[in-house]
Amino acid sequence: MAHYFENDDKVKTNEMTHQVKIRNLDLSFITDHGVFSKKGLDFGTRTLLESIPIEQMNGSILDFGCGYGPIGIFLKKYNQNFLIHMIDINKRSLNLALKNAILNDVVVNIYESDMYQNVSTKFDYIVTNPPIRVGKKILYEILLQAKKHLKVGGKIYFVIHKDQGAKSVMKDMKNEYEVTLITKNKGFYVICLKVH
Ligand SMILES: C[S@@+](CC[C@H](N)C(=O)[O-])C[C@H]1O[C@@H](n2cnc3c(N)ncnc32)[C@H](O)[C@@H]1O
């Protein structure tokens, strides 16, 4: 069986449109087989978007592993002044993210990147529901390499379930970042890592 993070054109397509409300914003998202959370907004992603201190944020944001696009598109819809970049390794996800940006009438930068390969600017924030199924090693690489793509004082906001090692990630990141727990909801931890 193909995983959502692989590029497999053989996975048959069945696009579905979902109406989603996040923090009083009405959004529509097309999803498909072969992408993460094809049944609609993931609960971890919702918890992330409803708990980050969005009113205090400004500047540029990287949505790492954008999938069909809920994070970057929501953030841009919430505040048109954000400069948003959205990356993913999966082509079908990227195509859906493009369609969804048009559907929700937002202008964002969407491009293919394996890890940070094609990321050439530094951001104020990285906001992500990171790929976990690829294993702890890749997750740690995403979080540790983020430093090179954040401005001084930049922050990563990410979500991880307790069963996926939320507590140990928080502990392990303490050597590298200032670590803050933003919220816990039904086992999902929203964590902030701040560059010293
Ligand atoms: C947990 S999903 C989150 C998707 C979307 N942001 C959401 O919240 O619904 C993680 C995403 O990371 C992408 N991904 C996996 N490995 C990657 C890599 N090496 N570089 C970039 N993106 C990757 C997957 O294709 C997937 O879309």
Q: Which residues contact 25 (CB under 8 A, 6 or more apart)?
A: 74, 77, 78
Cβ–Cβ under 8 Å, residues 121 and 137: no
Q: Is 112 in the pocket of ligand 1 (CB under 6 A)?
A: no
Looking at the structure, give the CATH architecture of the domain made up of residues 16-195.
Answer: 3-Layer(aba) Sandwich (3.40)
Q: Which atom of ligand 1 is nearest to the CA of 45?
A: 8
Pinpoint the alpha helices (H) of the chain.
43-51, 70-78, 91-103, 136-145, 166-173
* Beta strand ranges found along the chain (DSSP E): 16-22, 25-31, 60-64, 83-88, 109-112, 123-128, 150-161, 177-185, 188-195
Q: What is the mean pLDDT of each run of 10 residues along the chain (196 residues)?
A: 57 93 97 94 98 98 98 98 98 97 98 98 98 90 97 97 95 96 98 94
Q: Is 66 in the pocket of ligand 1 (CB under 6 A)?
A: yes
Output the six-digit token pair for 66. 């954008």
| All structural domains of the chain with their residue ranges | 16-195
Name the closest-CA residue to atom 4, ligand 1: 67
User: In angstroms, what is the span from residue 100 Cα to ligand 1's centroid?
Assistant: 16
Q: What is the pTM of this model?
A: 0.95
Q: Is 158 in the pocket of ligand 1 (CB under 6 A)?
A: no
